[in-house]
Amino acid sequence: MILAYVAIALAGAVRLPPPAGGDAAFRGERLALVIGPESFADPAFPALQFADDDAEAVSDALMEDGHFDRVWTLTDPVATSADGIRDAMAEIGAIADSPEDTVFVYVSSHGTLAHGSDGRLAPFVVASDTRLDAVARTAVPQAEVVTWLDGLPSRQKVAVFATCHSGQGKSALPADVRDQLASTKGDPIVPLYSVSEATIVIGVCAFSETARESSQLGHDVYTAYFLEALQPRPDTARYPGDADADGAVTVTEAHEYARTAAFAYTGGTQRAWARAEVLGEDPIILSGARAQPGAALAASYRRSLDGYGVRVDGQDKGVLPGQVVLDPGAHRLELVAPNEGPVVARQRVNVASGRRVDIESVLGRDHVRFGAGGGAVGFGVGPASAPLIFAEAHLPRLLGGAWEVVGQGSTTLRWPQPTLSGSLVVERPFAPGTVQLRAGVGLQGWLLQAAGDPPLLSPTITPVPVLAVAWTPPGFAWARLAGSGGALWYTDAGVAHVGWTAQLTLAMGVGI
């Protein structure tokens, strides 16, 4: 399912454009609910300057350029009451009965917080009849809209909420909630609900920031640029939001355009965000139509990567969540820890036109390399040759993208008798690049043959600090040439000894 939960500013009658062309039965119906209260009954919620204008403008854009079949535009006090909003949702739910349908919800109103049924603070959309002293009973929980969308069979769903919860701008807070927030460090709630596979969640500003209206722009700031992204330029007929130049503007492309422009317009004080688990390209087209394969995109809207930087071929391309445009061909993609930290993952990718690359799946995928090499072990009685059979596992989902679990097994041909050994080491690189200096610690086990005893009689386990240098040839993401060595401790006839290990291995691998 595709669910885009986009916190943006918009804001009654149902518009029914002429029937769509003959392919409508195959593409499903495109339905939109656009809400922008023109006034509020409770004076604690002053009328917003542009909410109803935003609603009308978005409705026009969806019908004209987005080719939506039906748009419910709610602006008057009756239609935008809590019951009126729920009635419209129920009407759309009765129509959207096919997986091929697209359902788009866009709300511009005041936002507020109240304690939900579980006692925790939760965000609410203020309806025209919402009372500030009874928010939980008279407002519409954002979670209610998300749950309603999730229950529809449609695979393409978008919810857009242009509200904020900071107590300024397009929000108002009850006195008890305001007092609670004043004594709370950090965000008191998670402003987004669980995001299922192929789900997009976008917000107009960070939780503690203000969603702003602008007399200069004539709209909510984010909405003004969201609309601009969807409208073709008169001189070129190109859509400003068409980042990959394929002729169509998707939800995520429109968001990226509006996010960047709103950030610049507000001097960095309004930071839109997004969450997504979309697999493959974003299928929700809001304007235009795909006329050709576009440029490649690398994107991630997953909460786990918030604040991480993206670097392409050594150049910084921005901070996640977000997306970057790639030229077709091979690139080195790197993920940089927040606040200009170290490179925590890198990958060589070869992308074709029109392909959307999920950054987390590329840089964070589990993979295994297998290889062979040679080395030596010193037991205090001189070095012994040790041809190695080598295996290495990189498990970022288990330990994080900066760590690797390395397992090695070897047979020592003489010491002076044959010996088998194996080790498990946790390594972390502390010098980024295709050549990495790595350090780790692990355990090494030995099955030793004592003189006159049956083979492999005496098992021994020793701690092993490891220092390694690894080189990944450019263009060969699954290859690694590594040299490593470390110390080991063992006992012989009750006497403690210190030895060493050294090996050189070449590994080729596959992703899993």
Distance of CA 155 to the CA centre of its chain: 19
> Residues 3-23: what's their mean pLDDT?
40
Order of strands, edge to edge, in the sheet holding 102-108? Answer: 13-15, 70-74, 30-35, 102-108, 156-162, 2-7, 199-203, 273-276
List the domains of the chain with CATH numbers. Answer: 2-221 (3.40.50.1460), 309-363 (no CATH), 367-511 (2.40.160.20)
Distance CA 442, CA 461 (A): 10
User: What integer pLDDT is reported at residue 20 of this predicted model?
Assistant: 40
**Of 239 and 347, which is predicted with more confidence?**
239
User: What integer pLDDT is reported at residue 17 of this predicted model?
Assistant: 41
pLDDT exceeding 70 applies to what percent of the chain?
A: 59
> Residues 247-266: what's their mean pLDDT?
89
pLDDT digits (tens, 9 = 90+) for 121-172: 888 999 999 999 999 999 999 889 888 888 888 888 888 888 876 556 666 7
Q: Which helix (H) or strand (E) holds 358?
A: strand 356-358
Order of strands, edge to edge, in the sheet holding 309-312? Answer: 315-319, 309-312, 329-336, 343-351
Nearest to 77 by CA among 128, 138, 126: 128
User: What integer pLDDT is reported at residue 85 of this predicted model?
Assistant: 98
- 313: Cβ–Cβ under 8 A, 6 or more apart, which residues? 331, 332
Nearest to 509 by CA among 481, 468, 485, 467: 481
pLDDT digits (tens, 9 = 90+) for 278-313: 556 677 889 888 888 888 888 887 777 778 889 999
| Position 465 confidence tier, pLDDT thresholds 50, 70, 90 | low
User: What integer pLDDT is reported at residue 456 of this predicted model?
Assistant: 45
Q: What is residue 284's DSSP assignment?
A: -
User: What integer pLDDT is reported at residue 123 of this predicted model?
Assistant: 87
Structure tokens at 207: 């939780």
Residue by residue, DSSP assigns 188-251 as SS-SS----TTEEEEESS-TTS---EETTTTEEHHHHHHHHHHS--TTT---TT-TT-SSEEEH
| Position 36 confidence tier, pLDDT thresholds 50, 70, 90 | very high
Mean pLDDT of the chain: 75
User: What integer pLDDT is reported at residue 115 of this predicted model?
Assistant: 84
| Terminal Cα-to-Cα distance of the chain (whole angstroms) | 25
Residue 111 vs residues 7, 56, 209, 419: alpha-carbon distances, Å: 10, 20, 12, 70
In contact, 109 and 35? CB cutoff 8 Å: yes
Q: For the chain, give me the number of helices (H) and strands (E)?
A: 10, 31
User: What integer pLDDT is reported at residue 407 of this predicted model?
Assistant: 74
User: What integer pLDDT is reported at residue 158 of this predicted model?
Assistant: 85
Distance CA 482, CA 484 (A): 6
**Of 25 and 324, which is predicted with more confidence?**
324
pLDDT exceeding 90 applies to what percent of the chain?
A: 22
Nearest to 10 by CA among 81, 107, 75, 79: 107
Distance CA 319, CA 324 (A): 10
User: What integer pLDDT is reported at residue 430 of this predicted model?
Assistant: 62
pLDDT digits (tens, 9 = 90+) for 205-228: 666 666 778 889 999 898 999 999
Is the preceding peptide bond at 43 cis, omega within 30 degrees of 0?
no
User: What integer pLDDT is reported at residue 182 of this predicted model?
Assistant: 59
Q: Which of 231-245, 268-282, 399-413, 454-468 shows the highest mean pLDDT?
A: 231-245
- Using only C-alpha atoms, the chain has a radius of gyration, in whole angstroms, of 29
> Residues 13-24: what's their mean pLDDT?
40
Q: What is residue 13's DSSP assignment?
A: E
User: What integer pLDDT is reported at residue 168 of this predicted model?
Assistant: 61
Distance CA 260, CA 269 (A): 12
**Of 181 and 84, which is predicted with more confidence?**
84
User: What integer pLDDT is reported at residue 25 of this predicted model?
Assistant: 42
pTM: 0.65
User: What integer pLDDT is reported at residue 22 of this predicted model?
Assistant: 39
pLDDT digits (tens, 9 = 90+) for 325-372: 888 888 888 888 888 787 777 777 788 888 877 787 666 555 566 666
User: What integer pLDDT is reported at residue 398 of this predicted model?
Assistant: 58
> Residues 192-204: what's their mean pLDDT?
55
User: What integer pLDDT is reported at residue 192 of this predicted model?
Assistant: 46
Q: How many CB atoms lie within 10 A of CB 304?
A: 10
User: What integer pLDDT is reported at residue 23 of this predicted model?
Assistant: 42
Distance of CA 75 to the CA centre of its chain: 33
Distance CA 361, CA 300 (A): 9
pLDDT at 6 over 60: no
Distance CA 213, CA 352 (A): 40
Distance CA 300, CA 363 (A): 11
pLDDT digits (tens, 9 = 90+) for 79-114: 999 999 999 999 999 999 998 899 999 999 998 888
Q: What is residue 152's DSSP assignment?
A: S
